[in-house]
Structure 1
Amino acid sequence: MNMVQRSDVGRVRTVNEDLSWVQALDSGVTLAIVADGMGGHQAGDTASRLAVETVSQQLLSLRSGLSAEELGDALAAAILRANRVIYELASQDRKYHNMGTTIVAVLLDGLKGMIGHIGDSRVYKINEDVIEQLTEDHSLVNELVKKGQISSEEAQHHPMKNVVTRALGTDPHVSVELIPVALTEHDTLMLCSDGLSNRVTEDEMKRTVNTVQDSLAARADQLLQLALQAGGEDNITVVLLEQTSRINDSAVRGWAE
């Protein structure tokens, strides 16, 4: 599995409240995470750091040979633990009051695995033929679209498009959406914050990711540049996972912010 992660503060913000993590665990399972924090000065980046730190640390000792259901159980438990950690700190320290974060995390055992998801950070599956959004935004505008009150096109420019209806750490209890994922050798999995998905069209994502003559790192860099060129008003984060026999010149492990 080739892995690359990139993050940029953008053209407007002074602090990067996004954080990502990608690593091949000792069990042979690949773990990738993107978190997009919220909550003002020092709070958003603290929330995303606690989310990624807690989830990754809990899953580092994951044993091999787990079923998809067991991967989902482990992922949900780690995310719920992160929710408790963030909520407790926010409850104890006024400067962290109301902080929270989105999270989207993937556990992949070979070409199959599970996605855990809260908020509006996304996972896409991309190949030469299609781009498919695997997660569904937990957001106000998505609820309005599902109810038929606004169109998908109107949602792109809605003044409340950044309002999430579910976040990690803002409440003592939260529901984790689990989504099974199955890939082929020709698929690329992309995790991203809304700083990317709000500014880069699906056609641009698909075309960039499928530029296979470029390294995985170059494709991730190009995705960042597209978001920056489109305004870069928000922090931008992307993780790419690609099952390939090519020499991995861009694999990374650990954090990116």
Structure 2
Amino acid sequence: MNIAFKTDIGRVRAVNEDSVLVRHDVGGYALAIVADGMGGHQAGDLASQMAIDMIREELRPIHTGMSKEQCKQAIQAAIENANRDIFEFASNREEYHGMGTTVVAVAASGDYAVIGHVGDSRAYKINSESMEQLTEDHSLVNELVKSGQITREEASHHPRRNVVTRALGTEPTIKVDVLELNWQQGDMLLLCSDGLSSLVRSDVIFDIVLADSGLEDKVERLVGEALAAGGDDNISVILIANDTRKQDRDEMG
């Protein structure tokens, strides 16, 4: 598995409330997580980092000898437990009341990937034929689009496009969307916060990801496009290629 990632504070925010994690080998899986925090008094960056740390620790025992269903259950439980712990932490500290974070987490083997998510951070599957959004945003504008009140185009610049309807840490329990997909050599998974997806058109993302360049260059260009479009939010990108070329990076961001 070849993986590259980048997180950037953007041009407007005072703090980067996004957190990312990449691990190339967790029991044979590649593990990647993006969390986009929210809340005043630097609570957002704390919430996203807590989510990353807790989910990573909970998923330490996973391995490719388990079934897909067991992997799905492990990811669901890890996110649910992180939600519970963040909620309890915030409930006991007045300055952190209301803090929360989105999360999209992927455990990928050479044959399949399992994805768990809450909020509006996204996962896409990309290959030479298509770019498919795998996750459904838990957001106000997505609800408005589904109900026909606004169009998809209007959603991209709606003044409340950053409002999420589901997040880790804001309620004692949470519903986690978990899915699995088969993928093969040449396929790529893109994980990102809405600092990318709300500012850069899908066709531009698709062209950059398919460009004849290394993964590091692709993530740099994706972040650069979001910055050029205004950079009004933190931007985080993880790109995972299902191939056997040399791994680009093997650290946490």
- TM bin (shorter chain): over 0.9
Q: Is 1:251–2:224 an aligned residue pair?
A: no
Is the CA contact (8 Å cut-off) linking 1:16 and 1:45 kept in structure 2? yes
Structure 1: unaligned runs, 5 residues or longer:
none
2:19 matched residue in structure 1: 19
Q: Is the 8 A contact 1:18 1:34 kept in 2?
A: yes
Taking the aligned partners of 2:62 and 2:243, their CA distance within structure 1 comes to 24
Deviations 1:191-215 (A, max 9, x none): 0000000111111111111113x11
Please give the alpha-carbon distance, in whole angstroms, between the structure 2 residues aligned to 1:43 and 1:64: 35
Match of 2:157 in 1: 157
Distance 1:108 1:241 in 2: 9
Alignment-mate amino acid for residue 231 of structure 1? G
Aligned: 1:100 with 2:82: no
Name the aligned partner's letter for residue 153 of structure 2.
Answer: E
Pair 1:37-2:8 in alignment: no
1:203 aligns with 2:203: yes
Cα deviation for residue 42 of structure 1 reads 1.4
1:53 maps onto 2:53 in alignment:
yes
TM-score by length of 1: 0.96
Q: Which amino acid aligns with 1:247?
A: K
Q: Which residue of 2 aligns with 1:80?
A: 80
* C-alpha distance in structure 1 between counterparts of 2:8 and 2:114, whole Å: 27
**How far apart are the structure 1 equivalents of 2:104 and 2:189?**
12
- Listed as ranges, the matches of 1:162-201 within 5 Å are 162-201=162-201
* Aligned-partner Cα distance in 2 for 1:211–1:2: 16
Q: Which residue in 2 is equivalent to 1:230?
A: 229
Contact 1:20 1:34 in 2 (8 A): yes
Cα distance between partner residues in 1 of 2:244 and 2:7: 26
- Divergent runs of 4+, >4 A: none
Tell me if the contact between 2:24 and 2:250 (Cα under 8 Å) persists in the aligned partners.
Answer: no
**Which amino acid in the other structure matches residue 12 of structure 1?**
V
Structure 2 SS opposite 1:25: strand
Distance in structure 2 (CA, Å) of the matches to 1:64 and 1:203: 34
Per-residue deviation, 1:26: 4.0
Match of 1:123? 123
Match of 1:134 in 2: 134
Counterpart-to-counterpart distance in 2, 1:179 and 1:205: 23
Cα root mean square deviation, aligned: 1.0
